[in-house]
Amino acid sequence: MANSLQQTTAAGTERVEDIAQFDVIVIGAGVTGLYSLYRLRELGFSVRAFEEGGGVGGTWYWNRYPGCRFDSESYTYGYSFSEELLQEWDWKEHYSGQPENERYLNYVADKFDLRRDIRLNSRVVSAVFDEDENRWQVQLEDGHRARAQFLITSVGILSAGYIPDFEGIDSFKGDWCHTGRWPKDGMDLAGKRVGVIGTGATGVQLITEIAKEVGHLTVFQRTANYCAPLRNSPIDADEQREIKASYPEIFKKCMETPGSFMHQFDPRSAMEVSPEERLEQYERLWAEPGFKKWLSNFYDVMMPGEANEDYAKFVRNKIRERVNDPVVAEMLVPKDHMFGSKRLPCESGYYEVFNQDNVLLVDVREAPIERITPKGVKTRDAEYELDVIIFATGFDAVTGSLIKLDIQGVGGQTLKDKFADGPRTYMGISSAGFPNLFTINAASVGNFVRAAEPLVDWVSEAMCYVRDNQFTRISATLEAEDAWVKHVAEAGAKILRTQANSWFVGANIPGKARVLLTAPDSAPVMRAKRAEVAANGYEGFLLQ
């Protein structure tokens, strides 16, 4: 019996029939997991969600570091499936903060009575496909098991935290943490000597906020980022009414754009217009909130080439204008990667932090961190004494959280082995040899909720198709998978996101294969492709 699970375990012999059985197991109760649970239940599936955290919310449960907030407009980030929910929920700020976002997802869980099918504090340690029964068996850290025909990994793309393998972390006498595991009770930073390693979107938000209370702040920066003002503000009563009245238009706009954000590119090239007109547009958009600065700008600002470099120069000068010390300013000006090739942090006073007397910027590209000592951080050039170290060092994106699940498919093949040279999937969703597994976290593109809803709808319909046609298995064919992997490499090579060393291509993790981890195509193209696949009887999938 190849790979079938005889239930002789360390705990004794357990009959398969005694293990909890479901139609679908969903791993993760964040934005995508909650909607998967809702949708699949509506379609008559029995579902159980396992969530590692002590509460629902995923990203918005774990990332409770000071300053954590949306960088896309709050009202584009909510679920669209319930008009009642849309009308009931008042987003308080244009770019809502983590506490409110976590409250929102808890509100959704309560409103739709999702909690009864969610098991919290449930870390999945393995998922094994039983080839005889065509069912996945999921094992939790606490010994609990469950079986289901389908398995959905709603584990997020940025959830496996990464801390560089610095020697000596355990010898540090002060407190330390990774931003993605910020303690629920907070960290006591007031008046302390705090060091932050990392200046990505997370570091930028965190540094700006904690600079208000720490005694002294040392920022260890390896790569300067292009950051732009977020310009957040509260939503007043008139705006609230307007937002609630225009949800259909807001969502329609989002669905038409490449990343499902509500901003449309200007169809003109930056290089087609006069320098004066170009600058006028750059300045006008710079004064606006959020992503408009680049997503409503000339279309070629976000493509490798002359327009991109022209805009990069504009942003570099904006940074220089805000920092008093010209030497520090030059350290904060990015020069080694194209504008937009890394995710662009939005900030609310980040650059002014470096004008404070109690803030020190340390260039750890010039003098890398050698180790953590009992007293603090030792770089090639100096030792920095600290009471607290915060690792804002990012995530093992997309595949990291999948590999941690120890997923074993047909013939005992592990997803870890299969993904050794980068993800091998068809459209991010399915991988040959892993039947009835939907790697939904690897298939999202752009604004998360806008991407998640149609994706979950598609996967749910695929499951209905399997159920209604009495199939037992669905998985990508090897041919479809090969073609998709080739497409990701070829199309991916041409886009901005693959041009820098970032989590988009796994380049932030030493030893990880350098491959675009998401689809290279826009959200509308991906939705159209999935619709075509379904219309053609799930072309590219093997149905058994």
Residue with nearest beta carbon to ligand NA7: 200
503 makes contact with ligand NA7 (CB under 6 A)? yes
Helix, coil or strand: residue 241: helix
Cα 32 to the chain's mean position, in Å?
11
**Contact letters for ligand NA7, residues 164-193 (x by CB under 6 A):** x-----------------------------
227 sits near ligand NA7 (criterion: CB under 6 A): no
**Residue 265 DSSP label:** P
Give the residue, chosen from 223, 260, 430, 431, that forms a contact with ligand NA7 under the rule CB under 6 A: 223
Tokens of 349: 């006073």
CB of 148 to ligand NA7, least distance (A): 30
Residue with tokens 């309560």: 110
Which positions from 457 to 496 touch ligand NA7 by CB under 6 A, shown as an x/- string? ----------------------------------------
By the rule CB under 6 A, 30 interacts with ligand NA7:
no
- Residues pairing with 346 in the sheet: 228
The residue range among 110-118, 185-193, 218-226, 375-383 that interacts with ligand NA7, by the rule CB under 6 A, is: 218-226
Considering only CA atoms, give the Rg of the chain.
24
- Find the binding residues for ligand NA7 in span 380-409 (CB under 6 A): 392-395
Q: Quick one: DSSP state of residue 239?
A: H
Q: Can you tell me which of 27, 86, 158, 196 binds ligand NA7, judged by CB under 6 A?
A: 158
CA distance 302 to 340: 6
Q: How far is the CB of 428 from ligand NA7 (least distance, A)?
A: 17
Can you tell me which of 53, 67, 198, 290 binds ligand NA7, judged by CB under 6 A?
198
**Cβ contact 186:438 at 8 Å:** no
Binding of ligand NA7 at residue 210 (CB under 6 A)? no
Contact region for ligand NA7 (CB under 6 A) — 217-225, 240-248, 311-319, 528-536? 217-225
Q: Which residues of 84-100 are buried (b: 16+ CB within 10 A; e: fewer)?
A: ebbeebebeebbbbbeb
Cβ proximity to ligand NA7, 485 vs 507, nearer residue? 507
Least distance CB 343 / ligand NA7 (angstroms): 3
Compute the distance between CA of residue 287 and CA of residue 266 in angstroms, rounded to an integer. 17
Judged by beta carbon, residue 222 or residue 320, the one nearer ligand NA7 is 222
Could you give the CA distance from residue 480 to residue 491 in angstroms, rounded to a whole number?
16
Site string for ligand NA7, 355-384 (x = CB under 6 A): ---------x----x---------------
Rounded Cα distance, 297 and 264, in Å: 8
Smallest distance, ligand NA7 to C-beta of residue 214, A:
19
Q: Figure out which of the listed residues 153, 154, 159, 199 binds ligand NA7, where binding follows CB under 6 A.
A: 199
DSSP string over 330-373: HHHS--SS-TTSS---EESSHHHHTTSTTEEEEETTTS-EEEE-
CB 518 within 8 A of CB 525: no
- What is the 3-state secondary structure of 481-523? HHHHHHHHHHHHCCCHHHCCCCHHHCCCCCCCCCCCCCCCCCH
Tell which one of 33, 53, 55, 200 touches ligand NA7 (CB under 6 A). 200
178 in Cβ contact with 160 (< 8 Å): no
Is residue 224 at the binding interface for ligand NA7, with CB under 6 A as the rule?
A: no
Contacts with ligand NA7 by CB under 6 A lie at: 158, 164, 197-203, 220, 222-223, 343, 364, 369, 392-395, 503, 508
